[in-house]
């Protein structure tokens, strides 16, 4: 029997897009889509019925209305209904188009045919029920940061991707020249999706290992540490992980952290410095930011 999903549809003023996307991400939506209709945006998100009740979505609707009041914008109209997994899959896919990211990437939905000739790196993706399509600012900031870090990759660069989701950042790192990436995610559906996307991009499983778990499982896999750490998850989770990053690090290890709202960045930066990391750069996009870090020299 097919799994059922709540399809949440929000009709809103364009200026509410950022706050609504943030709310949906925090609520637990597996991917969002946006459609422009006349002077309004139609934003859709999806959550599994097994984890949420109608009352939960009613509360979400109230939060969205309160956000609009704070911003002095018209209140959004929120509707939700149950759909089967097959319907969910086809519903949001029709709104997702190829996305150019940074100077080098173009993310192509798996069901579309990429151009025969392009100057960009084609990253094929079918996120399934996992987060990470390349449309969210945090994913874009991370890919652009990886472009910079791996513009002239040294030999045998090893990277850890914590909370790998659809595998988009792990795959991007391999396509940019990383020799090995270890990806972990606590969600078994995300692990399945990332492995399928690895195969879709014809990447050798020996170069890109995707496993279920978090930092403890990653530490068992890595052994001698990694050259880079990528982490695009909620800021609250990053705060909990920071004290343990050093267990993964070599003397010159760098990191790319996102999933962080601008007003959360200072607390993250302070914690990083307390734990022996230097904030090398902070890139902003809309209300989100990406923090690039490196290991502080030992005294």
Tens of pLDDT, residues 129-186:
555 677 778 889 999 999 999 987 667 899 999 999 889 999 999 999 999 999 999 8
More confident residue, 137 or 242: 242
Q: How far is it, in rounded angstroms, from Cα 40 to Cα 35? A: 9
Residues 6+ apart with CB under 8 A from 113: none
Q: Name residue, tokens 């969910």.
A: 88
Give me the mean pLDDT over the 199-227 stretch. Answer: 93
Question: What pLDDT, on a 0 to 100 scale, did the predictor assign at position 1?
Answer: 38
CATH architecture for residues 128-295: 3-Layer(aba) Sandwich (3.40)
Q: Name residue, tokens 């109230």.
A: 62
Question: What pLDDT, on a 0 to 100 scale, did the predictor assign at position 150?
Answer: 93
Give me the mean pLDDT over the 46-73 stretch. Answer: 88
| Alpha helices (H) in 36-153, listed in sequence order | 54-70, 85-93, 137-149
Task: Check if the beta carbon of residue 199 is closer than 8 Å to that of residue 170.
Answer: no
Share of the chain above pLDDT 70, in %: 92
Task: Check if the beta carbon of residue 236 is closer than 8 Å to that of residue 277.
Answer: no
Q: Fold for domain 4-93? A: Alpha-Beta Plaits (3.30.70)
Domain boundaries of the chain, sorted by first residue: 4-93, 128-295
């Amino acid at each position: 029997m097919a799994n059922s999903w709540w399809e949440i549809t929000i009709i809103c003023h364009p200026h509410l897009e950022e706050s609504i996307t943030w709310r949906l991400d925090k609520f637990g939506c597996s991917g969002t889509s946006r459609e422009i209709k006349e002077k309004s945006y139609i934003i859709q998100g999806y959550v599994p019925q097994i984890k949420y009740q109608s009352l939960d979505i009613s509360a979400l609707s109230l939060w969205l209305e309160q956000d609009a009041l704070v911003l002095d914008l018209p209140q959004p109209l929120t509707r939700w209904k149950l759909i089967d997994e097959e319907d969910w899959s086809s519903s949001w896919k029709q709104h997702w188009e190829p996305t150019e990211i940074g100077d080098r990437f173009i993310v192509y939905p798996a069901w579309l045919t990429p151009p025969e000739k392009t100057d960009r790196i084609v990253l094929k993706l079918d996120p399934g029920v996992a987060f990470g399509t390349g449309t969210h600012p945090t994913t874009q900031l991370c890919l652009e940061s990886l472009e910079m870090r791996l513009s002239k990759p040294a030999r045998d660069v090893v990277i850890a991707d914590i909370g790998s989701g659809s595998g988009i950042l792990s795959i991007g790192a391999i396509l940019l020249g990383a020799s090995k990436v270890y990806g972990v995610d606590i969600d078994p559906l995300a692990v399945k999706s990332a492995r399928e996307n690895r195969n879709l991009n014809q990447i050798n499983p020996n170069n890109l290992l995707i496993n279920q778990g978090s930092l403890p499982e990653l530490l068992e896999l890595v052994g001698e540490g990694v050259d880079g750490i990528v982490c695009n998850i909620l800021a609250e989770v990053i705060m909990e992980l920071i004290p343990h990053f050093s267990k993964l690090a070599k003397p010159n290890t760098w990191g790319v952290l996102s999933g962080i709202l601008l007003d959360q960045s200072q607390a993250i930066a302070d914690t990083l410095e307390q734990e022996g990391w230097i904030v090398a750069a902070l890139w902003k996009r809309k209300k989100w930011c990406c923090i690039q870090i490196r290991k502080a020299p030992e005294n």
